Structure 1
Amino acid sequence: MIERLELFIALARERHFGRAAEACGITQPTLSSAIKQLEASLGVMLVKRGSRFGGLTPEGELVLGWAQRLVGDSHAMREEVKASRHGLSGRLRIAAIPAALAMVAEFTTPFREAHPGVTFSILSRTSVDILSLIGNFDADIGITYLDNEPLGRMISVPLYRERYHLVTAADGPFADVEAVSWADLASLPLCLLTPDMQNRRIIDQHLAEAGALVRPTLESNSMIVLFSHIRTGKWSSIMPGNLIRTLGLSEAVRTIPIMAPVASHLVGLVAAHRDPHTPLVTTFLNAARKLSHTLVDGVAK
């Protein structure tokens, strides 16, 4: 039953029999047969069928919620049994917003030292994708904003407040100032994250509130792409202070805090709202709660 529920979750996620079968490493007829067997055992139709996947039936939507809980509990049980025999081990899958990637090592490094049997998979994703990955068991932990857009049914661990800085040419128009306002930024050609990123939506919101109409000259979903352009001294951007400190600046670039008004947004860990979690997720969340008290702007004191 658990294996069929896992296949059903994959189908609901991919919304396509062929893609779901490929993601699960099985043939499409095998997937279709498993879904039909699950429907027969429950006595209801779960999937609207036609020439292609037509979505879930109302009963399918109901079963999907139960399937996610049951599969999550099954994974937790297996992990707890394994941990009781061999100690904490396994792969922890972390999905993080680009703006928070620079501080992930603050958690993974001490955790790996304490639990050498653990490995990590770290993905850069949008905040929306992070919630979806966790809900579909494709990620264990998310690192995202906690106070700007709805999280849904998630548990969260606050980590630090993200504060914003202008990163610009050292010999540019703001060469001699110690702070700038959001309105000041309207005069600059900026390179920013793409609009699907919550960091970009936050920045757009603060610029709009200041009456600053900004048209980015470059957009990317990668902070590394933005930073490589900024380091030339020919581009400006708005970035979190912790990211700037981690990546470092060239002599051609300086960072200036945006102080009028000061804006900050809470970044933290999220995980599925279920009890119990796997021992790996539980231990990581507990370690994060302890470490979070030592963080200032995402960097350990």
Structure 2
Amino acid sequence: MIDKLEFFIALARERHFGRAAEECGISQPTLSAAIRQLEDQLGVVLVQRGSRFQGLTPEGQRVLEWARRIVGDTRTMREEMRAARHGLAGHVRIAAIPTALAIVPRITEPFQVKHPDVTFSVISRTSLQVLSQLENFEVDVGITYLDNEPLGRVSMVPLYAERYHLITASDSPLADRETVTWREVADLRLCLLTADMQNRRIINQHMAEAGVVPKPTLESNSMIVLFSHIRTGRWASIMPKNVAESFGFSAGIRMIPLVEPEAEHVVGLVAQHREPFTPLVSALLHEGRRLAEVEAF
């Protein structure tokens, strides 16, 4: 039954029998047979079928909620028993918004020192993707904004507050200022994150409060791309100070606080809300709380 529920979750996530089968490492006929067997066992139709996958039935949506709960609890049980036998080990998958990637080593490095048999994979995702991948068991924890958009049913650990600065060449307009207003930066040649990023929506929000609309001449979903263009001296950007500092800008770059409004937004760890957590997730949330005490924001 557990295997069939895992296949069903993969199908709901991929919305395609072939891709779901590939993800599960089985053939498409095997996946289709397992879903039909699950339907027979439960006595309901789960999937709307035609020439291709057409979605879940109302019963399928309800079973999906149960499947996520049952599979999550089963994985927690297995990991807890493995930790009891061999100590904390395994692999942790982290999805983080681009502006939070710089903070990840401050969690993974001390965690790995304490638990050397744990490995990590870290991927950059939008805030919506972080939550979706948590829900679908594609990642174990996420790092995202906690106070700007609905998070749903998650457990969270606040880590730090983003405070926004104009990042610009030292010989560019406004570079001699101690502070700059959101209204003033609208006239600069800006490079910003793409519109699907929550950081960009935050920037749009505060510029709208100042009565202006951002008109970037370059957009990217990569912080590295933005930094590279700032270094040319032709572009400026709006970034959290901690992100800019992590790239070690030279003396030719200035970080100027943005005011009117003086905005900040909280970023933190999020995990699927469940008790008990897996040992790995529980230990990672504990590490996040330790970091939050150091930040003391």
State the TM-score, normalized to the length of structure 1.
0.97
Separation (CA, whole Å) in 2 of partners of 1:261 and 1:273: 34
The one-letter amino acid of 2:37's match is Q
CA distance in 1, matches of 2:227, 2:296: 22
Aligned residue in 2 for 1:130: 130
Task: List per-residue Cα deviations over 1:213-232 (Å, max 9, x = no partner).
Answer: 22110000000110111112
Contact residue 156 and residue 271 of structure 2 kept, 8 A: yes
**Helix, strand or coil at the partner of 1:55:** strand
Offset at residue 249 of structure 1 (A): 1.0
Question: Which residue matches 2:217?
Answer: 217
CA contact 1:46–1:56 (8 Å) conserved in 2: yes
Gaps of 5+ in 1: none
- The match for 1:111 is 111
Q: CA deviation at 1:250?
A: 2.6
Give the C-alpha shift of residue 189 in structure 1. Answer: 1.2
Alignment partners' CA distance in 2, 1:124 and 1:173: 32
RMSD of aligned Cα (Å): 0.9
1:248 CA displacement:
1.4
**2:146: which partner in 1?**
146
Q: Do the aligned residues in 1 keep the contact of 2:189 with 2:234 (CA within 8 Å)?
A: no
Q: Is the deviation greater in 171-180 or in 155-164?
A: 171-180
In 1: Cα distance, 2:102 partner to 2:287 partner:
18
Q: CA deviation at 1:4?
A: 0.3
The alignment partner of 2:172 has SS state of coil
**Cα distance in structure 1, aligned partners of 2:225 and 2:296:** 25
Matched letter for residue 153 of structure 1: R
1:220-259 equivalences under 5 Å are 220-259=220-259
> Is contact 1:191–1:216 with CA below 8 Å preserved after alignment?
yes
Deviations 1:58-100 (A, max 9, x none): 1100000000000000000100000001000000100000000
Aligned residue for 2:5? 5
Deviation at 1:296, TM superposition (A): 5.8
Aligned ranges 1:146-225 → 2 under 5 Å: 146-225=146-225
User: Secondary structure at 1:255's aligned position in 2?
Assistant: strand
Q: 1:108, 1:121 → 2: CA distance? A: 10
The SS at the match of 1:13 is helix
Counterpart Cα distance in 2 of 1:258 and 1:285: 32
Contact kept? 1:88, 1:115, Cα under 8 Å:
yes
Q: 1:252 offset after TM fit, Å?
A: 2.7
Q: For 1:129 and 1:146, how far apart are their aligned partners in 2?
A: 14
Please state whether the residue corresponding to 2:196 is helix, strand or coil: coil
SS in structure 2 at match of 1:207:
helix
Cα deviation for residue 175 of structure 1 reads 2.5
TM-score, normalised with respect to structure 2: 0.98
In structure 2, give the amino acid aligned to 1:255. Answer: M
Instruction: Point out 4+ residue stretches in structure 1 off by more than 6 angstroms.
Output: none
- Tell me the equivalent position of 1:277: 277
